[in-house]
Structure 1
């Protein structure tokens, strides 16, 4: 599953799941773009880790929930590498353990800007700029398929991008571009589960997983790597669930 000579842009890739995805693609030979919004030191560390794998890497500070930030990261990618072959729309924000009755308008606007508007326009820009036979992958959440207490807002904000990916797969199919969505379950060591205060909540979710553990960032990165490979050339418009059987 070599990605030698290809260029991969992973939004929100300075830490957590995005970091794991980016380093997995780099490990398979892709030149990579580390996108971050605030943590410059973390982005620099990921860049160094990618370069240690023998590929070229750049960092781009850009808020990809805003259209100018999206434009900036795509412009920087083209300027540095001349092409984009892989786009992973990963950047997002979690908000759980909040009842529907407690959600504020500010909560709603923020989650939908980061989890819905941002990925929508990342995919729009990817559709305009990606090379023929490229790969687009969006990262969703199994809260869109498994109703749970306290995830009404978060799950709703993650639904739209998976649907958009299915439509975009139809539009880009004639160019050989595939568009798919990965739907992870809870991920140990990422997002809210980097905070020990959420350990009790984590254990309650483990009890819901048939295989008896939460996923890891590496588990999900492996799924993304498959979908961006030549081996997945016939897979498009799909939502691939990786949640240990919770769905």
Structure 2
């Protein structure tokens, strides 16, 4: 799939899932804006790998829970590339295995600031700045449709942006802009499973629920993000694509 002559902005793309998606877009010919919050060292390596694909890449620091920072991120991307054709609202924070009775107000404020407020205003900025015919992807979570003990706060914080996606799909349809949510399950080698072996009890328990026999990888998710970012997905909008290998959890 070619994304040549496109420009993509992926939030939280200096590492993990966001990095895999941004580099996949670059490998298909898209210029990419790499966003990071704090770790500049990790962030610097990603644009270097993107430019090795023969595209332009920039690295932009921005806290996506700060509305002014989001606007600056979009403006910097527009100044660099002249257009924004693809936006992936990926940045988020995981805080799991906490029973609801143990959740503190600070826990709540943190996750809703990053996982709910952040995507809301990233999606708002995308709606304002994306080119006609563009693609907007919200990175949600399988926990929003597969409730589990210990995921009450995390799953709740990831639920609201999915509703906004469905609204934006209707509001932006006349511009031929599609808006969809991806709902990955736990990602092997990323997030809370960075460096975690299959022998880990929590990971093993999850593996036992997946008929396919393994967790998703960042590359699996990049496969579907690539499809949603391309021309072939034109008639898919306002949808939620669950990627959990058929897990019963």
TM-score (ref. length: structure 2): 0.97
Query: Which residue is equivalent to 2:157?
Result: 157
Q: Deviations over 1:151-207 (max 9, x none)?
A: 000000000111110110000000000000000011100001015399321111111
Asked whether the equivalents of residues 85 and 130 of structure 2 are also in contact (C-alpha less than 8 Å), the reply is yes
Give the superposed CA RMSD.
1.1
Question: Is the CA contact 1:64–1:122 (under 8 Å) kept in the aligned structure 2?
Answer: yes
After TM superposition, list the pairs within 5 Å mapping 1:126-205 onto structure 2: 126-196=126-196, 199-205=200-206
Farther-moved stretch of structure 1 (125-134 vs 37-46): 37-46
Matches within 5 A, 1:71-82: 71-82=71-82
Q: Is residue 2:89 matched to residue 1:89?
A: yes
Partner of residue 231, structure 1:
232
Deviates more, 1:53-62 or 1:190-199: 190-199
Shift of 1:98: 0.2
State whether residues 189 and 196 of structure 2, in contact with CA within 8 Å, keep that contact through their aligned partners in structure 1. no
Which residue is equivalent to 1:222?
223
Secondary structure of 1:8's counterpart equals strand
Q: CA deviation at 1:148?
A: 1.0
> Could you list the runs of 5+ residues in structure 1 that have no partner in the other structure?
none
Q: Stretches of 4+ moved more than 4 A in 1? A: none
The 8 Å contact of residues 140 and 159 in structure 2, kept in 1 or not, is answered as yes
C-alpha distance in structure 2 between counterparts of 1:210 and 1:195, whole Å: 23
In structure 2, the partner of 1:109 is: 109
What SS class does the counterpart of residue 215 from structure 1 fall into? Answer: coil
In 2, Cα distance between equivalents of 1:128 and 1:195: 38
Give 1:206's aligned residue: 207
Tell me the matched-pair count: 247
TM-score by length of 1: 0.98
1:100-150 per-residue CA deviation (whole Å, 9 max, x = no partner) reads 000000000000000000000000010000000000000000011111110
Q: CA deviation at 1:72?
A: 1.2
Please give the per-residue CA displacement for 1:26-51, whole angstroms capped at 9, x wherever unaligned.
11100000000111111110000000
Contact 1:32 1:57 in 2 (8 A): yes
CA contact (8 A) 2:144 2:155 kept: yes
Task: Report the secondary structure of 1:83's partner residue.
Answer: coil
